[in-house]
Homo-oligomer: A and B are copies of this chain.
Amino acid sequence: MENIVYLIPAFGVIALLYTFVKSAWVSRQDSGDAKMSTIAKYIAEGAMAFLQAEYKVLTYFVVIACLFLGYLGTVGENSSPVIVVAFIIGAFFSALAGFIGMRIATKANVRTAQAARTSLSRALDVSFGGGAVMGMGVAGLAVLGLGGLFIVFKAMFVGDTYNAEEMERALEVLTGFSLGAESIALFARVGGGIYTKAADVGADLVGKVEAGIPEDDPRNPATIADNVGDNVGDVAGMGADLFGSYVATILATMVLGREITVTDNFGGISPILLPMVIAGLGIIFSMIGTLFVKVKEGGDVQRALNLGNWSSVILTAVASYFVINFILPEESLNLRGFEFSRIDVFYAVLVGLVVGTLMSIITEYYTAMGKRPVMSIVRQSSTGHATTVIGGLAVGMESTVLPILVLAGGIILSYEAAGLYGVAIAAAGMMATTAMQLAIDAFGPIADNAGGIAEMSELPKEVRERTDILDAVGNTTAATGKGFAIASAALTSLALFAAFMGTANITVIDISNARVLAGLFVGGMIPFIFSALAISAVGRAAMAMVEEVRRQFREIPGIMEGTGKPEYDKCVAISTKAAIREMMLPGAIALIVPIVIGFTFGPEVLGGLLAGVTVSGVLMAMFQSNAGGAWDNAKKSFEKGVMINGKMEYKGSDAHKASVTGDTVGDPFKDTSGPSMNILIKLMSIVSLVIAPHIAVHNHESTPALNHEQIKEQTIMPTTSTVKPGNQVMYTALR
């Protein structure tokens, strides 16, 4: 029975095979005429140039991090320098996932445009096919990496007979994989966010305003950077984000699974195996779900995507019922003496699925055209720039209410079902269909790019109409995808938080302890300074881009006549370097603050810090992303034409100009700082989990059960942590 563990990397391999086959299929599609190919080639080259530059800089970071991890692994009692290997593989896989996504997105965009010449059905096939490649690639690499490394580390540290302490070491080392993945994700998301907005502004300010050439004109040196930016932000950024969440969630559940006492057929590690098996099943059912994403000419694309999504979610839910019954024993017991059954674990999975769904629906409501929130901004646009901004800020703040209530309900219900393991498995359940979620998310920017290429290549009007249909659906899926990403980040952070407490040997984080409270305040402030830095960085990076574009117009002969070729790669490099440089400080904050606080004040204060970061980060993520999304669609409402006070308003009116201000304010909110919050809260939790064994509370470790004196001592010092894994026997006995 224990051989089931070998199934897990097999799921990953299946997903990668799918990626390979589907990718080849997309590549075989017609890439259209010479003009289309040329434009697409520029974008693809630019994207690769970005990745190259980014990965080069990241290599330094990886080397430094490896030195630190190697040192920790050598001196730490419960750790091992092998963590360095896990870290490098995690970082490499995350980079690889970004590479796969970017490559397929830059191939699928032009082929979608070409396919749209034939029919909507074929255009959907190609664009969604590209998304599916990305989704399966991310999920496959994650499951292969986690499953494979788990097998290796289990063999290396634990061997055939289960040993709690050695399993702790194996999982601790595995945490390095997640740390590698999430660090790269932070750079990809923040750097990408700064990149795309800097290129956007730079291209517009110099090209459109100063040189007077139209949008997306190939003579503009920054135009490729601009188009690359869309892929960098929406495709690679989202992919890295979800890759990180996916890995972190599974890992956190595994770490918490170690704290569950069971008598099973898997040598006592069934709670550790379960999240990986559910993830594997999610891949298979996501694959099946993609088969439902088909549409006839004039059909409903949104319905097709929903059908695919719901099939995979429902099939995964049903299958997880059987898997849980097969793997877990009837009763499980956690460290706090809390007993739960198999069906409780299944309930927790269901809670996760419901939370994810509700968060997506609420996010869509707050950012959708025609709904009350966006319409309130539209109306306030008629009284000027300031009221538009105020309206959007109010909508963003208001949009936090329902998601927080859903999240709070989800936390309580999943905890009541199966303790902290329940919270983690809820997150794992939600993330199980990540492959499908990502396929749907990545489809949007591919369709968007396809529309741009169709426009630039002057394809017939019906082509643009077809890509517009796909693009409109893509806007909706982008909104729901953001809701899903925030929900997953929040639950993942909580799972990591719980895993951190277990690894650090603390069971209480008491906010009436002054230091913990101070930690909570400082933690709550981190998302504010992180956002401030990200937002200001966009401004500075845009200025660097402006200067480079001006230089090229000045120095390259024949550039305006079309005879001199602009140095696209220089703009890409400038934007990349600026983005990477500007994100060093926020990145350093995320990585260094938990280390400093943890080693200076210990695990309980670090726990307070993490709670502060998570609560404030989730709120700021929702506030910024939803305000930005709502402003964006308020502006789009004017472009479509909208009724205000009984009068139709269109593009070009004063109200529309005010709405453009709102949209511009919202850009760094929704594309830079907002989405970065997700990774910030996860990364800080993972860093804490990695250092947890090194700052763990160590008293009573050799005592199998506490004696009377010790219990008394603990009771009179309620602000320090009290219960240790070593006490497990006692709980079991008392239960």
A interface with B by C-beta (< 8 Å):
336-337, 376, 380, 384-387, 389-391, 393-398, 400-401, 404-405, 407-409, 411-412, 414-416, 420, 423, 494, 497-498, 501, 507-512, 514-515, 517-522, 524-525, 528-529, 531-533, 535-536, 538-539, 607-608, 611-612, 615-616, 618-619, 623, 660-662, 664-665, 668, 706, 708, 711-712, 714-719, 722-723, 730-731, 734
Please name all residues of chain B whose beta carbon is closer than 8 Å to the beta carbon of A521 when the two chains form the complex. Answer: 404, 407-408, 411, 615, 618
Would A337 and B716 count as touching, CB distance under 8 A? Answer: yes
Selected contact of A415 from candidates B396, B514, B722, CB within 8 Å: B514
Please name all residues of chain B whose beta carbon is closer than 8 Å to the beta carbon of A608 when the two chains form the complex. Answer: 511
**Interchain residue pairs with CB less than 8 A apart (8):** A384-B661, A395-B532, A404-B524, A408-B518, A411-B518, A415-B514, A511-B607, A661-B661
Would A412 and B518 count as touching, CB distance under 8 A? Answer: yes
Would A397 and B723 count as touching, CB distance under 8 A? Answer: no
Would A397 and B512 count as touching, CB distance under 8 A? Answer: no
**Interface core residue of A336, A409, A665 (most chain B CB under 10 Å):** A665
Would B400 and A528 count as touching, CB distance under 8 A? Answer: yes
How near does chain B come to A626, taking the closest CB pair, in angstroms? 11
Selected contact of A615 from candidates B384, B404, B615, CB within 8 Å: B615
Please name all residues of chain B whose beta carbon is closer than 8 Å to the beta carbon of A510 when the two chains form the complex. Answer: 508-510
Known: A508-B508, A531-B397, A616-B619. A661 touches B389 (CB 8 A): yes
Please name all residues of chain B whose beta carbon is closer than 8 Å to the beta carbon of A662 when the two chains form the complex. Answer: 386
Please, how many angstroms separate the alpha-carbon atoms of A409 and B394 in the complex?
32
Residue of B nearest to A530 (CB): B397
Would B711 and A715 count as touching, CB distance under 8 A? Answer: yes
Residue of B nearest to A731 (CB): B716
**Interface core residue of A397, A423, A524 (most chain B CB under 10 Å):** A397
Please, how many angstroms separate the alpha-carbon atoms of A415 and B532 in the complex?
31
Residue of B nearest to A379 (CB): B539
**Interface core residue of A412, A528, A711 (most chain B CB under 10 Å):** A528
Please, how many angstroms separate the alpha-carbon atoms of A404 and B712 in the complex?
36
How near does chain B come to A603, taking the closest CB pair, in angstroms? 11
Would A539 and B407 count as touching, CB distance under 8 A? Answer: no
How near does chain B come to A615, taking the closest CB pair, in angstroms? 4
Main secondary structure of the interface of A (DSSP, over half): helix
Please, how many angstroms separate the alpha-carbon atoms of A514 and B416 in the complex?
8
Please, how many angstroms separate the alpha-carbon atoms of A723 and B731 in the complex?
20
Please name all residues of chain B whose beta carbon is closer than 8 Å to the beta carbon of A623 when the two chains form the complex. Answer: 528
Would A514 and B401 count as touching, CB distance under 8 A? Answer: no
Please name all residues of chain B whose beta carbon is closer than 8 Å to the beta carbon of A400 when the two chains form the complex. Answer: 525, 528-529
Known: A404-B521, A412-B515, A718-B722. A708 touches B708 (CB 8 A): yes
How near does chain B come to A394, taking the closest CB pair, in angstroms? 5
How near does chain B come to A340, taking the closest CB pair, in angstroms? 13
Would A394 and B723 count as touching, CB distance under 8 A? Answer: no
Please, how many angstroms separate the alpha-carbon atoms of A607 and B336 in the complex?
22
Residue of B nearest to A618 (CB): B521
How near does chain B come to A716, taking the closest CB pair, in angstroms? 6
Please name all residues of chain B whose beta carbon is closer than 8 Å to the beta carbon of A718 when the two chains form the complex. Answer: 336, 507-508, 722-723
Would A615 and B524 count as touching, CB distance under 8 A? Answer: yes
Would B507 and A509 count as touching, CB distance under 8 A? Answer: no
- 4 cross-chain pairs, A with B, having the tightest CB-CB distances, nearest first: A415-B514, A386-B664, A397-B532, A408-B518
Please name all residues of chain B whose beta carbon is closer than 8 Å to the beta carbon of A515 when the two chains form the complex. Answer: 412, 415
Please name all residues of chain B whose beta carbon is closer than 8 Å to the beta carbon of A423 when the two chains form the complex. Answer: 514
Residue of B nearest to A501 (CB): B512
Please name all residues of chain B whose beta carbon is closer than 8 Å to the beta carbon of A708 when the two chains form the complex. Answer: 708
Residue of B nearest to A660 (CB): B386
Would B616 and A661 count as touching, CB distance under 8 A? Answer: no
How near does chain B come to A483, taking the closest CB pair, in angstroms? 15
Known: A404-B525, A665-B389. A615 touches B612 (CB 8 A): yes
Please name all residues of chain B whose beta carbon is closer than 8 Å to the beta carbon of A722 when the two chains form the complex. Answer: 715, 718
Residue of B nearest to A416 (CB): B514
Please, how many angstroms separate the alpha-carbon atoms of A528 and B528 in the complex?
14
Residue of B nearest to A535 (CB): B394
Please name all residues of chain B whose beta carbon is closer than 8 Å to the beta carbon of A389 when the two chains form the complex. Answer: 389, 661, 665
Please name all residues of chain B whose beta carbon is closer than 8 Å to the beta carbon of A533 when the two chains form the complex. Answer: 398
Would A390 and B518 count as touching, CB distance under 8 A? Answer: no
Please, how many angstroms separate the alpha-carbon atoms of A512 and B500 in the complex?
11
Q: A405-B525, A661-B661, A716-B723 given; name 15 further pairs at CB < 8 Å.
A: A336-B716, A336-B717, A386-B660, A386-B664, A387-B664, A401-B528, A404-B521, A404-B524, A415-B515, A494-B517, A497-B512, A511-B607, A525-B619, A528-B623, A706-B715
Please name all residues of chain B whose beta carbon is closer than 8 Å to the beta carbon of A385 when the two chains form the complex. Answer: 385, 661
How near does chain B come to A320, taking the closest CB pair, in angstroms? 21
How near does chain B come to A401, taking the closest CB pair, in angstroms? 5
Please, how many angstroms separate the alpha-carbon atoms of A539 and B394 in the complex?
11
How near does chain B come to A735, taking the closest CB pair, in angstroms? 8
How near does chain B come to A31, taking the closest CB pair, in angstroms? 37
How near does chain B come to A584, taking the closest CB pair, in angstroms? 17
Please, how many angstroms separate the alpha-carbon atoms of A528 and B536 in the complex?
23
Please, how many angstroms separate the alpha-carbon atoms of A514 and B412 in the complex?
6
Known: A524-B619, A664-B386, A715-B723. A512 touches B411 (CB 8 A): no
How near does chain B come to A371, taking the closest CB pair, in angstroms? 16
Would A535 and B397 count as touching, CB distance under 8 A? Answer: yes
Would A336 and B715 count as touching, CB distance under 8 A? Answer: no
Would B380 and A619 count as touching, CB distance under 8 A? Answer: no
Would A719 and B619 count as touching, CB distance under 8 A? Answer: no
Please, how many angstroms separate the alpha-carbon atoms of A212 and B529 in the complex?
44
Please, how many angstroms separate the alpha-carbon atoms of A554 and B517 in the complex?
58
Would B716 and A411 count as touching, CB distance under 8 A? Answer: no
Would B714 and A408 count as touching, CB distance under 8 A? Answer: no
